[in-house]
Every structure is written in C-alpha cells, then in structure tokens.
Structure 1
Amino acid sequence: MTAQRSYQSGFTIVEILVSLTISLLLLGGVINVFLSSKQGYRVNEALAWVQESGRFALDIISRDVRQAGYNANQEICGGNISLAIESPIDNTGPLEAGRLRITLNNPENYANSWLGIISGNIDAIRGYNAGSNEWSPALPTEISALNPTVSTDVITLQHSASEGGVGSLSIYAHPGSGNQNSPGSADLKIEGTNEAEAEYFSVFDENCKNGGDWSKCIVMALDKTCEVGAVLQITNFTTSNGNTVHNTGIGDPGNRTKNLGRSFEGGYLVPGISENAATITYYISTNASGLPTLFRSTNGATGEELVDGIQDMQILYGEDTSNNNSIDNYVVASLVSNWNNVLAARISLLAQSPETNITAEGENQDLTFNGATVNTSDRRLRQIFTTTVTLRNRVP
C-alpha cells in the first residue's frame, strides 16, 4: 500500500478576518471599560475634593464666627471694669479711683483703643456685600489691598487671640510704690499660669529689651479691684523673675512718665491689642495656580491660602432689631443697621473641582447660587455648602 502524505493546513482569509474582528471588538470593550472606569474615578475624586474643601472651609470660618466678640480681659474682676481716662490726660501725680492713666508719649493716641479693650467693646463682626465691581460698605484700604475677587463677599471678625483665661498675668510685687513723689514708679514683678507665662514671657523677652516689635510691649496694669489702671510700655524684662521695667527715654512710642500713680501689687498685667486680640478677614481671591481660593488675613498681614476651589462666598447676617435677643431678619451686609445687634451669620460657599471636563458633555449641572444661575460650561463639578453660625458671646 502506498501511504498518503499529510499536509499542514492553515487558516483561511475568512477565518483570519473573523478572528481579527472578534479581537477588535474585545479590545474595544476593554478600552471602553477602562475609559469608563477612569472617568468614574475622576468623578469620584472630584466629588471627594469638592466635599472636603467645602466642609473644611465652612468649619474654619464657623470657628471664628462662633468666637467673635470674645474678650479674655472681661474675665478679670468678673468683667466688672469701668474706667475713664484721667484728666488731665498727661497727669503724673496720684491716680484717682475710676481712672485709667496712659503713661505713653502722645497718650491721646491710645485712649480709645484701651477703653475698648477693658470695656469689651470689640468690633466682633463686620461684613462687606459684593456688587459687580465694588463692595458695600466700601472695603477698608488694608482689605482692598488683599485683592479679593469682585462679586464675592468679605467678612471680618475680631476676638481675643487667647481663650480660656490666658489673657492676663498677675502682679505679685510692686515695691516702693507708696512714694508720693513718684507713686508707682518702681518695677513691676509679674507671674502667671504656665500657659500665660509661656505665651507672653517669650514675647516680652524677645521684643522689650533691645528694640524688637515695641508694639508688643504696650500693656495695662490693673489693681486687684479693677478700680484703677495704667497703660505703660515695657522697656526691659527679666524672664527668670518676671521683673518688668517701664523707664522713660526708650521704646516706641516710649513712656512719658514712670509714675503709674498707684501700687498695683496683687493686680493684673493685661497684654495689649497686638498680643491679645485677633482681627481676622476671610475673602476669596485667585491663587498662584489660577484657582479661586479661600484666604485668611490676620491683623492686617498678607493673606494665607486656606482652601483652593472655593469659587464664591455669600453671607447673610441675622440681626436683632427688636432688642429681645432673637433674630428678626437675615440681611446682606449693606442692609445691617447696627453691627452690635448681629447675632448670627449664614454662610454660603460655592466649591468647584480643580479639573475641568468632569461632568458628561452636554449634561452641565443646573445650579443656582445667590439668586443667579452658575456658569458650568467648563464642566467642573460644583456643590453649594451653607451653614448658619451663632455668635456665642452675644446670645444668653
């Protein structure tokens, strides 16, 4: 028998084309799943970003709104401090009861601010309602210099920088203050809680010896019953025993007299505005990456970037117009009749994702913020956050 040869056979053209078609369909499916997964991941990431940014921004603003108006100095003598500037204002003799002496040069320049500190008359809250090109009330120069974004609101809050009774120090000795020729001219010796000493002793040591920031050396002495007070500038300080010198001829503005007019032994030493109060402004501006960002400026300093992606901020203020400790109306800043009657702030933020093209094409979000439709053509993901915060120092 003759054996038959076996020939190897391959794929036909039709089989190859069918295989390629199936492979392309499978590859297309894989690519589609990958792209869908990637887009889903981008959407979830953008949503997480927006929610985290909005909540954090509201939380940090709310904290300062709640604390607005808090004055640590009012914890001294149970807050029962009522003093008037002595007359004449440049007196150097004994200090009468109920009077506050300003021992600084040009004392008239410091009278009102110190009366505000001891009376608790802190400018707790003030807002600026944004128009298309300007704010109402008009922005102060120092806030305008921060370049807030037009059409976004600005809010300024003030409260003691220290909380929980750290605001004052004790005067444990004022030797030789009974001398009628130079009453109260001796050095003060001060002490405090560990927190107070840690907070203020280093400030005095750094600034009140060799001419650092002299503004941080302006303080007020109160006697133990808070019936008299004297504003002075520390000109030398010893950390080890709290010895506090208040000589003339040094410092800015410097002391016009060493005579405090009374013995302040057993009383209090109260740090001044620069160390004991914080004025905080929140505003929207553009950061270095070109994103709208929530900024904060403290005591007039350059604004610090807090949260990027905050596109807009609008605030309504709850005002008690009937003097019954209850809010009657929520109004924009320009319609507030008396800022001392504002009991709450209703803050609304518009947050956006940092990346564009997050939402599906042709399916832009339908959002209304501050009574206007939000332009979402860049397909960023956006969300509105709103909260109402009470000024806890103004409600019973």
Structure 2
Amino acid sequence: MNATRKLLFPALFKSAMLGATLIELMISLSIGVIIIGAIGYVFLGSRQSFRTQDALSRMQENARAAFHIIAMDIRLAGFRGCPNNSAAGGDINVLVNNTDWDKNLLDQPLIGYEKPSASTWSSFPTGVTGVVGNVISGDALTVLHADNSQEYIVSAHTPNSDPPQFTLTANHDIKQGQILIAAKPDCSRVAVLQNTKDCTYNSSGDCGHKFIQHDTVSSCSSGNSRKGLGSPIGSCPSGTTDTFDTGSRLFRLSATTYYIANNNGNEPSLYRQVLTTNSGSPNNSAEEMIEGVQDMQISYAIDTGTDLAVDGYVTADNVTDWSKVLGIRLSLLMVSRQDEQGLTSSPQQYAIDMNGDGDTNDTGETITPSDHLLRKVFSTTIAIKNRL
C-alpha cells in the first residue's frame, strides 16, 4: 500500500523529505540577531534610565532629609523657653565661658561663616574644633536654641545651699556637664547654666535622682573660677542670687554647626558638630548626616529697619548684625557616588547661587565638572520663627 502511494505521488514524498535551505537559515539567524539586539538595546536603555532615576531619587530624598533636619534647628534659633528679656535683672548666662560659640545662646544664637576660598573663612570661632581645615567646600552655619523635645519641671530651687541645686518633679537623664536653660514660669528670667552633679544610671536607664546642681565646692577648692545663681561660696564668684519658682522649666541647650566634609569613604557629606558631654564636661563631637552633599551655599534674609520685614539677602561676610537675620536661603549641591560613574555620557553642567543675589547669572556660578557624575542643586528658604 505504501509502495503504491509512493509511486502515485512521488513529488509529494520528495518535498516532505527536504530541509531548510542555507539562504532560509541565514535569513532566520539574521532576524533572530536583530530581535535579540533590539531587546538588548531596550534592556540596556531601561537599565541606564533606571540607574539615573534611582540616583536622582536618592539625591532628592537626601536633600529633603537635610532640609528637614536643618530647618528644625533654624526655625528654633534663639528659642530659650520664653520671650527675650534683655532688661536689667532679666536673662543671664552664668557660665564661665559664656561667649564660647556653643554656649552663647543669649547674645549669639545664630551665626554663619562664608568660605570664599579653599583656605580662608570670613570668620570662625577657634572653639569650633574639628571644623576648620576639614570643610571641603561651601559655607557653614551655627545654631543655638533650647531643646524643646523634652522639658523638666522644677519643684524646688535652693540657690544658697551648698551646693545650689534644683529639685525636679521626676527623675531625669541629664548628664554631668550638660549646659541647661532655666526659665521662670512668668518668664521674668531665663538663665543659662551647667549641671555639675554626677548622674549615676540605674537599671531603669535613668539617674535615679531628681537633682540638678549648678555649682560645686570642689571647683572652688581647685582654684577654678565659676559662676552660679546663688550667693558666693568661699572665694568663688557667683551670679545673681535668684530663686527659680516652682513650675520653672529646664531645657538642654542645643548647639550645632553644619558644614561639608569628606566621610571615611571619601564621599562629600553634610556633617554637623553638636554640643555633648564627656567625662562630666561639655564637649563637641562630629556627626555625619547625609552622604552626597558636595556644596552648601547660604544667604541670609536681613531686616535693615525695624518692621520685621525682609529687605534683602546677603552672604555671611556682609551681615553686620546677626540679630537682624530673619531667615535663611539654603542651597545644597547633591552629587551621585563615585562608584556611579557613567550615569551621564558627558560632563553635566550645574548652577548655584554663590553671592546671595537669588540668581545664577554671575561669573563662576555656572560650573561644568570634568567627571561624569550626576549633580543637582536643591534650594529652600527657612524662616526664623522666634524673630517674626
């Protein structure tokens, strides 16, 4: 039967036995290569676009976080728990080194530093250790205020005891050496002072006592000068004799300097130097906040009159009265990481306001780096609420 079919339909069986020709095979391979190439091109393009968008998103998120942290400090600049009272018998600072940058809340709660070149500053307190010489670019800013995240209520105050001390309504976690602000209930007086009582932590994580001392006899016997709120003890000088009434409040002093420096990975970062304590004494320590901040430019909104209205913006070296600063315009230059080279096919140009005039049209404000890193400038304006 099969043999008969082969005899009757020879052409049909011959065609069924034939394979693809060389030409057909080459055409198929060419089409496959084109399809694979197109898919690969789309994939690589999508991957590059994803990397770029991911880097931009990270830069934007970092800038937003930096603005949020800095803005919280700037808005509170000069806050002391009460309105300012500069009248005689009003606000006092009884610290020995009351003009140090991190203790001068009453007279200098905000100050900026202009860095016009890599080696010079417009002005910088020598006490800001760890900052000068480590700033790689941009300006710096110091902000002081009472830390209102936690306040302590006074139940009793004995300024003439030995040593003078506050008694609080509850146990506290304030370390020895911590700089504090005391505010009377009627705001007739605010005082900047120091806790000199050692704080021994118990199993619950608090000090186990309710006392804050602001003078010690031991500091007198060693010959160290000091001031207090009580009457003189021995040969030690003291401040004004004054009792802080029941219901007075105590706050920690927050003192922070913001600047740009390289981190351990040699990446530019936003740093801050904060007031802390070490071995019972005030101390400053540096903290890395946000990676990828290459530059920080700051201009200051000033009131040249008395109407509490902004009359213009200037850089730090042109501020003549820091109490007239009502707000800050802050620009951060964000940059992608060194290991993200190749996000751009050519060097990317950026522009940043250097002289505080609000535009980027001046010489030296438009820059084209030689690398292929991604950069973007973010800006915001922050009001100092205590001055408006």
TM-score, with length taken from structure 2: 0.71
Who is 2:333 aligned against? 350
Deviation at 1:153, TM superposition (A): 0.7
* 1:309 lines up with 2:309 in the alignment: no
- Residue in structure 2 matching 1:381, options 365, 374, 387: 374
Q: 1:58 aligns with which of 52, 55, 67?
A: 67
| Alignment counterpart, residue 71 of structure 1, candidates 80, 83, 92 | 80
* 2:289 partner SS: strand
Greater shift, 133-142 or 217-226, is seen at 217-226
1:141 aligns with 2:116: no
Task: Measure the CA separation in 2 of the matches of 1:152 and 1:351.
Answer: 12
1:161 aligns with 2:130: no
Give, as a single letter, the amino acid of the residue that structure 1 aligns with 2:387: R
Deviates further, 58-67 or 258-267: 258-267
Q: What amino acid does structure 1 have at the position aligned with 2:378?
A: F
Write the distance in 2 (CA, Å) between the matches of 1:65 and 1:132: 25
For residue 111 of structure 2, the aligned residue among 126, 133, 143 is 126
Correspondence for 2:20: 11
CA contact (8 A) 1:247 1:257 kept: no
User: 1:18-57 to 2 correspondence within 5 Å?
Assistant: 18-57=27-66
Correspondence list, 1:112-261, <5 A: 121-143=106-128, 145-146=130-131, 147-162=133-148, 166=151, 169-171=154-156, 184-185=161-162, 190-192=167-169, 197=170, 201-203=172-174, 213=176, 215-216=177-178, 242=210, 248-249=217-218, 257=233
**Corresponding residue for residue 281 of structure 1:** 257
Paired with 2:218 and 2:149, the residues of 1 have a C-alpha distance of 35
Aligned equivalents of 1:322, 1:228: Cα separation in 2: 27
AA aligned to 1:27 is I
Q: CA deviation at 1:324?
A: 2.7
Once the two structures are TM-superposed, the CA of residue 80 in structure 1 deviates from its matched residue by: 8.0
| 1:127-181 superposed Cα distances (whole Å, 9 cap, x missing partner) | 11112223432333344623443441111111112357x2652317x5xx9xxxx
The structure with more helix, counted as a fraction of residues: 1
- The one-letter code matched in structure 2 to 1:293 is S
One-letter code aligned to 1:248: V
CA deviation profile, 1:344-386 (whole Å, cap 9, x unmatched): 1111111122222223x24x54422234222244333222111
- Aligned CA distance change for structure 1 residues 168 and 340 (closer, same or farther; 3 Å): farther
Aligned to 1:392: 385
- Are the structure 2 counterparts of residues 241 and 265 from structure 1 closer, same or farther at C-alpha, using a change threshold of 3 Å? farther
Q: Does 1:328 align with 2:311?
A: yes
**Alignment gaps of 5+ in structure 2:** 201-206, 276-282, 354-361
State the distance in 2 between where 1:149 and 1:237 align.
Answer: 35
Residue identity in the other structure for 2:141: I
Q: Which amino acid aligns with 1:157?
A: V
The CA distance in 1 between the partners of 2:40 and 2:350, in whole Å, is: 33
**How far apart in 1 are the matches of 2:341 and 2:190?**
63
Looking at structure 1, the residues matched to 328 and 63 of structure 2 have their Cα atoms a distance apart, in angstroms, of 17
Deviations 1:106-146 (A, max 9, x none): x9x36778xx87xx624121111112223432333344623
| TM-aligned CA distance change 1:187 to 1:25, over 3 Å | closer
Q: Distance in 2 between matches of 1:278 and 1:26?
A: 63
Higher deviation after alignment, 133-142 or 7-16: 133-142
- The structure, 1 or 2, with the larger RCO (C-alpha pairs under 8 Å, 6+ apart) is 1
Deviation at residue 202 of structure 1 after TM alignment: 2.7
Do 1:184 and 1:262's aligned partners in 2 also have CA atoms closer than 8 Å? no
Amino acid aligned to 1:30: I
Q: Which digits, 9 at most, give the CA deviation of each residue in 1:252-290, with x for residues without a partner?
A: 85897289997948457776xxx7312111111111222
In 1, Cα distance between the equivalents of 2:369 and 2:194?
58
Between the aligned partners of 1:230 and 1:43, the Cα distance in structure 2 is: 50
- When residues 32 and 133 of structure 1 are mapped into structure 2, their CA distance, relative to the original with a 3 A threshold, is same
Aligned residues: 340
CA contact (8 A) 1:218 1:234 kept: no
Over 3 Å counting, the alpha-carbon distance change for 1:38 and 1:188 in structure 2 is closer
Deviations 1:167-210 (A, max 9, x none): 652317x5xx9xxxxx6558756233xxxx45xx232xxx5xxx
Give, as a single letter, the amino acid of the residue that structure 1 aligns with 2:301: G
Shift of 1:316: 0.7
Partners of 2:80 and 2:181 within 8 A in 1: no
CA RMSD of aligned residues (A): 4.2
Residue 359 of structure 2 is matched in structure 1 by none
| Unpaired stretches in structure 1, ≥5 consecutive residues | 85-97, 178-182, 208-212
* Farther-moved stretch of structure 1 (325-334 vs 251-260): 251-260
TM-score computed with the length of structure 1 as normaliser: 0.70
CA contact (8 A) 2:154 2:166 kept: no
Tell me, in whole angstroms, the C-alpha distance in 1 between the residues paired with 2:66 and 2:93.
43
Q: In the alignment, is the contact (CA less than 8 A) between 1:159 and 1:277 conserved in 2?
A: yes
Output the CA distance in 1 between the equivalents of 2:284 and 2:192: 29
